[in-house]
Amino acid sequence: MSVWQLCTNIHGVAPIRACNQTEPKAPARTRPRVSPQLNRWSRARSIRSGRKLDRPVPRTQTLESTPATSPPPPSHPFSPPLDSDYADTLDGGAESTASKTIYIVSDGTGWTAEHCVNAALGQFDYCLVDHGCPVNTHLFSGIDDAEKLLEIVKQAAKEGALLVYTLADPSMASSANQACNLWGVPSTDVLGPITDAISSHLGVSPSGLPRGASGRSFPLSDDYFRRIEAVEFTIKQDDGASPGNLDKADIVLTGVSRTGKTPLSIYLAQKGYKVANVPIVMGVQIPRTLFQVDQKKVFGLTINPVVLQSIRKARAKTMGLTPESRTNYFDMDYVRGELEFAGKLFAQNPSWPVIDVTEKAIEETAAVVLRLFHDRKHKCTMPRISKRY
């Protein structure tokens, strides 16, 4: 089915019934049916971004009463029906919205496209952190039907969203490109260019099938079972549990509370590494096995005290604690003292690399850990003094 036919099916209006501006009155049009689920998603994003939700007001103005200085956009035989909402999209809307929207569309899990978008958004932290240019993203995964795809593109046109897609099927990718061009939706094909480059380099054609599609089989390999075993081990070794098993770990993380030991451990475990983490708490004895294991496995984590205090305050709030509670968990003097205590421990063990996790994503910290881990494993030169990364 062509994009033209699907546009007709979605909107219920054939291209030959496009608006004729020479007639005295515009023919009555039925509003195109938009997915209720997409509307709910749009409304939820608006609420999260703090946008005011106005109820649509029906327009009584006819096409003839449109000022000559602002003529309606010319009709295209493939264009969607020019209803009032869509006209707002073409004209830029009655009022500009504070936040921008990015639609992420995939015929698989969407992991690739989502991580590419997040990596690109990382280049705009200077305006995202202080909400100078807030962005909302939404992932549409498992989109393997052209009609669903075009419905999403139409919604993107109404919201003025950017569409980023990874579609393995060339016909689906072509449909997305055509629909975006017809409806004026800015778009980026993440998977297509690199797939074409690899195909040209290898001299073979890609399968065009998304991951998980029927016809593609992924046998359970040794690597799969190794990752499962690593996750199970890491969960059992969380927060200093079973210190006698530290020698079985590939990587041992240590640091004060709320330095990200657990999420970092789980992330590394999903890559197949057995990870144990040991908390550092003032007044609590450190397990002796931490100093008995291969010291090349041990990595220290530290963080800025102000950031740590804010994280602990948020954690205490979720636990129902208040500033009046009798706890020094998020007291600044205690936070600084605990970090100083950890710093002295790191200085006494100069073979432990110390990684500052302040303003680092889990993926960034993991990349540092794995680089140092493999450098040591392959006996690359390492400094004999504690070094911060």
The ranges assigned to domains in the chain are 100-202, 222-377
pTM of the entire predicted model: 0.61
Which residue is listed with tokens 């219920």?
Answer: 12
Contacts of 292 (CB under 8 A, 6+ apart): 246, 247
How far is residue 7 from each of residues 39, 67, 247, 351, 368, measured CA to CA in Å? 19, 29, 62, 64, 49
Q: What is the pLDDT of residue 317?
A: 85
Q: What pLDDT was estimated at residue 352?
A: 95
| pLDDT given at position 37 | 54
312-354 tens-digit pLDDT: 988 888 888 776 666 788 889 999 999 999 999 999 999 999 9
Q: What is the mean pLDDT of residues 209-224?
A: 73
- For the segment 202-226, the average pLDDT, to the nearest whole number, is 80
Q: Which two tokens stand for residue 39?
A: 């509307």
The matching CATH number, chosen from 1.20.1740, 3.40.50, 3.90.1720, 2.60.40, for 100-202 is: 3.40.50
The reported pLDDT for the residue numbered 38 is 56
Higher pLDDT, 361 or 327: 361
CATH number of 222-377: 3.40.50
- Asked if 262 and 308 count as a contact pair (C-beta separation under 8 A), the reply is no
Q: What does the mean pLDDT of the chain come to?
A: 79
In angstroms, the Cα distances linking 95 to 87, 91, 217 are 13, 10, 50
State the Cα–Cα distance between residues 196 and 194, nearest whole angstrom: 5
Nearest in space to 161 (alpha carbons), one of 97, 113, 73, 107: 97
DSSP H/E element including 174? helix 170-183
128-182 pLDDT, tens digit each = 766 678 899 999 999 989 999 999 999 999 999 999 999 999 999 999 999 999 9
